[in-house]
Amino acid sequence: MFSTNPFDDDKLREECGIFGVSGADGAAALVALGLHALQHRGQEAAGISSFDGVQFHTHRAMGHVAGNFDRPDVIEALPGAAAVGHVRYSTSGETALRNVQPLYAELASGGFAVAHNGNLSNALRLRKDLVRTGSIFQSTSDTEVIIHLVATSNYRTLLDRFIDALKQVEGAYSLICMTPEGMIACRDPLGIRPLVMGKLGDSVIFASETVALDVVGAEYVRDVEPGELVIVKGTELRSIRPFTPNAPRPCIFEYVYFSRPDSISGGNSVYSVRKAIGAELAIENPVDADLVIPVPDSGVPAAIGYAQQSGIPFELGIIRSHYVGRTFIQPGDKVRHLGVKLKHNANRALIEGKRIVLIDDSIVRGTTSLKIVQMMRDAGAAEVHMRIASPPTRHSCFYGVDTPERAKLLAAKLDLGGMTEYIQADSLAFVSIDGLYKALGEAERAAVRPKYCDACFTGDYPTPLTDQDETRTVDQLAMLEERVG
């Protein structure tokens, strides 16, 4: 079933990391390393496809990169000088192997393997049309829509067919495609999701983040630009921009949470931006306290910034077990709650009798904050003040970051007072959207026209949301029918 509700089990959205190598013998081994460095972007499943000059080979598996792709037999079965890989993450619902990427298809032009980071906001509409005209889908992934659009395009060459397909999709996509002729990497016209390009000897590398270049010892060359297609054939590299130019809107949440702090994104050090957000947070929302304590690991850089700006000592008041995945990774509310308990423990000797400022990067459902505040109280804290290094998350993301439906977002349900009460803190404050822009070296949001996609905070979605609008229309019609009935 292909649901019209993006939050159903057969959901479309994914969080992902992608990595591709062109022109290096044993490319799959490099891809495995690159995926390792991108593991934080998706822990549910991983896959690698390689091309040996004659044939494509693919291995896809549920679980982490380590454990699946650190086995010599697996890598040996992926021969060739070109390979592309993907890590995937979805919090609940169908996690079948058929949705694990790279997706592969035999097109008229030959094999085509694709890895996608992002989410298309009109995939359901396109899929319905494609199914009506005879396309048979193998997965419930939005990425497969691109493959069918390429397959059914009236253009002649693969590149023209690919461009034709991209012109029909809306939303966020960073893609790495592998064909017998070479590799194509591209970013959607707004550049919502990241994609960088690197060099290792004569080989070309594409990756979601620079940390994945670091891990294989590759040199960062530049970002793939919004709306750009980079085509690699042997040692020849070509760039085309087939879309009408647009003001880019890269995802601001990559800086808040999603990217690794040691990545450079859009020319900014993610770590430095996070520290600057913490400093803005301290300027906007000061508090009299004894200690600044990060919720590890996501709150650490912002807490350092907050401490340096406020002069309140930074201490590790919560110790995190590194053997549990990210809070969100375990599907299901019950397990998610348990995950928080498993993950963090209070450093009791430090906390007792102290007024503390807790720093985290974001509040989504409020699960983490509630548990951590309680944990601080149980450890004897005199006061617990929560400071959040992003504005309230009030809107769902339809571009590939897994925020839940609005009904589950704490800030969409409650005002500041309600949220403070819910998490049981003595006070709660968020950095403003202007503070966030300032931390990125920008003027106020309104003055720069939104340079980023910040829809999760503002509700200002930079692309049409065809699937949402159609779902809403269907829901509204159903409501109307009910009322009439």
- Binder to ligand AMP among 365, 387, 395, 438 (CB under 6 A)? 365
Catalytically annotated residue among 6, 14, 15, 16: 16
CB of 409 to ligand AMP, least distance (A): 9
Verify binding: residue 92, ligand AMP, rule CB under 6 A: no
What's the CA gap between 466 and 456, in Å, rounded? 17
Beta carbons of 394 and 405 less than 8 angstroms apart: no
> Closer to ligand AMP at the Cβ: 139 or 327?
327
CB of 464 to ligand AMP, least distance (A): 23
Verify binding: residue 337, ligand AMP, rule CB under 6 A: no
Verify binding: residue 401, ligand AMP, rule CB under 6 A: yes
* Closest to 140 (Cα-Cα) out of 158, 119, 109: 119
Paired tokens of 56: 């494509």
**Per rule CB under 6 A, count of chain residues that contact ligand AMP:** 19
For 261-277, letters b (16+ CB in 10 Å) and e give: bebbbbebbbbbbbbbb
CB of 309 to ligand AMP, least distance (A): 21
Beta carbons of 155 and 109 less than 8 angstroms apart: no
Verify binding: residue 366, ligand AMP, rule CB under 6 A: yes
**Does 251 carry a binding-site annotation?**
yes
Q: Are strands 318-320 and 344-346 parallel, antiparallel or unpaired?
A: antiparallel
Verify binding: residue 364, ligand AMP, rule CB under 6 A: yes
Verify binding: residue 362, ligand AMP, rule CB under 6 A: yes
> Closer to ligand AMP at the Cβ: 20 or 391?
391
* Closest to 394 (Cα-Cα) out of 385, 404, 383, 386: 404
What's the CA gap between 443 and 436, in Å, rounded? 10
**Does 361 carry a binding-site annotation?**
yes
Distance of CA 196 to the CA centre of its chain: 15
What's the CA gap between 14 and 68, in Å, rounded? 20
- Site residues for ligand AMP, 312-331, by CB under 6 A, read 326-328
CB of 7 to ligand AMP, least distance (A): 14
Verify binding: residue 44, ligand AMP, rule CB under 6 A: no
16 as an active site residue: the answer is yes
**Does 360 carry a binding-site annotation?**
yes
Residue 378: count of CB within 10 angstroms of its CB: 11
- Site residues for ligand AMP, 272-301, by CB under 6 A, read 295, 298
Distance of CA 146 to the CA centre of its chain: 19
CB of 299 to ligand AMP, least distance (A): 7
- Binder to ligand AMP among 56, 69, 112, 257 (CB under 6 A)? 257
Listed in sequence order, the residues at least 6 apart from 164 whose beta carbon sits closer than 8 Å to its beta carbon are 149, 150, 153, 154, 155
Enzyme catalytic residues: 16
* Residues contributing to the site for ligand AMP (CB under 6 A): 257, 295, 298, 326-328, 360-369, 401-403
Which residues are documented as binding site for [4Fe-4S] cluster?
251, 397, 453, 456
